[in-house]
Amino acid sequence: MGVPPLNPAPMTIAEFLAFTDARPGEEKWELIEGEPVLHATPSGFHQRIVANLIYLLGALERQELRSWTAIPGIGVRVSDSDLPEPDVLVRPREAAERDLASRACDDIIVAFEVLSPSTRDRDLRWKRNAYMGLPSLMQYVVIAQDAVEVVAFGRNSRFPDRRLNRPEESLDLTAIEVSLPLSEIYRGTGLAG
C-alpha cells in the first residue's frame, strides 16, 4: 500500500472550510499554521464559562445599543493558513450584521479563550501572538476553568495587561466599555463561592 503522498504546502482557509464541511457538525476544528487541529470535547466547566460570557455580553448589548456584538464559535482569519476559533469574540456590530453567513472574520476587538489542558499552551502563546497581529484587536482574555483566574492582555498602555483572581474583582474591557464581575463569569461552576 505504501505511504500516500503528502501535500507540502500548508492548507489554505478555503481548503480548510471545504474540509470541515465534510466533517460531522459536532467536531470543532481550527486551522493552525496550515494544519487542521481537532479539539477534544470541552468540559462542563468550560461550557458554563462560555455560556456565562455570552449571557453577560448579550445582556449588556441589549441594555443599550452597542457598536459591537459578542459571538461564539466563528474563525478568525489571521493569515492565509491560520483560522483559529476563540471561544467568544467581540466584533463591530455593523460588520457582524452584514456578514451573518460568514464563518470567519478578521475584525475582532476582544477575543476570549477558556483554557483547556489540551490547548492551554497554544492559547497562551501562539493565539495571543496571532490575535495581536490583527490591528483591530485591543484585548485578549484567557480564563482558567479550574480556578478563579483571568488574564487580560492589552494591545498598549491604554489597554494594560491585568491578572485577576478574586471573585469580587471585575474584568474591565476598556475597548468595549464594559466591566464583567468574575463572580458572574464563574457563576454555576462552584469556583466563585
Structural domain containing residue 169: 43-185
CATH number of the domain at 172, please: 3.90.1570.10
29 domain-assigned: no
68 domain-assigned: yes
**pLDDT tens digits for range 55-86:** 999 999 999 889 999 999 899 999 999 999 99
Nearest-5° angle of CA 10, CA 12, CA 15? Answer: 115
108 domain-assigned: yes
Nearest-5° angle of CA 189, CA 191, CA 192? Answer: 105
Burial class (CB in 10 A: 0-12, 13-18, 19+), 143: buried
> What percentage of the chain carries pLDDT values higher than 70?
95
92 domain-assigned: yes
As for how many domains the chain has, the answer is 1
Q: Is the pLDDT of residue 3 over 70?
A: no
141 domain-assigned: yes
**Can you tell me the distance from the alpha carbon of 82 to that of 77, in angstroms, rounded to the nearest whole number?**
6
**Can you tell me the distance from the alpha carbon of 27 to that of 9, in angstroms, rounded to the nearest whole number?**
24
86 domain-assigned: yes
161 domain-assigned: yes
